Chains A and B, each alone.
Chain A
Amino acid sequence: EPEVTQTPSHQVTQMGQEVILRCVPISNHLYFYWYRQILGQKVEFLVSFYNNEISEKSEIFDDQFSVERPDGSNFTLKIRSTKLEDSAMYFCASAAASGYTDTQYFGPGTRLTVL
């Protein structure tokens, strides 16, 4: 069964540093998402991406965040200057389409620790 993959599985960084989290969505999917989950809290939507542009973003997704699909397979989330409160699990998801019946498939996540 095809799956979403994410690298690295765990990233440790110093406050103020830039990080790039990488995702490889399922190959024929067209819609891509990032979510995050702070330890012990809810899964929160960050951003959705379609046709090389952002479709929707939450209040969390401020100017420190950016997304990119640099080639035909990767989908990246960049945090320019990390803060302590950015420590969380970051999940990438992809879907074949954006309708209510189109399942979003989640990756295993990247645990980001900001020191």
Chain B
Amino acid sequence: LAKTTQPISMDSYEGQEVNITCSHNNIATNDYITWYQQFPSQGPRFIIQGYKTKVTNEVASLFIPADRKSSTLSLPRVSLSDTAVYYCLVVNNAGNMLTFGGGTRLMVKP
């Protein structure tokens, strides 16, 4: 599976839009990009998944350019409760284990 690279940490303020970019240069044709969120002492929680272009749900948007070598998770108007670690993962249908990297620690300030 393609290795992912994302910022270790980011700071933001309440009400701002936050964009977290993940690079996955060696992504394969069958791979999808998936993002999870983890609060302290809790299990990871699925946020969004996509293959290409743009995906939007009630929580976030995911932008994937045509070459699919990177992706950007966009969180609109963050609040203090969005403070968490965000993980970018590459998944495919050949295996069912999830491989987590270090994630991006987002701190939302008042």
Distance in angstroms from B81 CB to nearest chain A CB is: 17
A-B contact pairs, 6 of them (CB 8 A): A43-B100, A45-B98, A56-B95, A100-B49, A101-B32, A103-B49
Residues of A within 8 A of B101 (CB): 42
Does chain A have a CB within 8 A of B102? yes
Is there an interface contact between B42 and A48, defined as CB atoms closer than 8 Å?
Answer: no
Chain A residues positioned under 8 Å from B92 (CB to CB): 100
Query: Interface size (B, Cβ < 8 Å)?
Result: 25
Total of A-B residue pairs, C-beta within 8 Å: 60
- Asked if B43 contacts A100 (CB within 8 A), the reply is no
Instruction: Find B46's partner among A35, A48, A103 (CB 8 Å cutoff).
Output: A103
A93 and B96 contact, Cβ closer than 8 Å, known pairs A100-B32, A101-B49: no
B99 within 8 A of A: yes
Contact between B102 and A104, CB atoms less than 8 A apart: no
Q: Which of B30, B43, B87 contacts A93 (CB 8 A)?
A: B43
Known: A42-B102, A43-B87, A100-B31. 10 other contacts (CB 8 A): A31-B96, A33-B97, A42-B103, A45-B97, A45-B99, A58-B97, A95-B96, A100-B32, A100-B34, A111-B41
Question: Whole-angstrom distance from the CB of B49 to the nearest CB of chain A?
Answer: 7
| Size of A's binding interface in residues, CB under 8 A | 28
Asked if B45 is at the interface of the complex by the 8 Å CB criterion, the answer is yes
Complex: A111 Cα to B40 Cα, angstroms: 12
Find the B residue at minimum CB distance from A91.
Answer: B43
Residue of A nearest to B92 (CB): A100
**What is the 8 Å Cβ interface bit string for chain B, positions 27-52, against chain A (1 contact, 0 not)?**
00011101000100111111001000
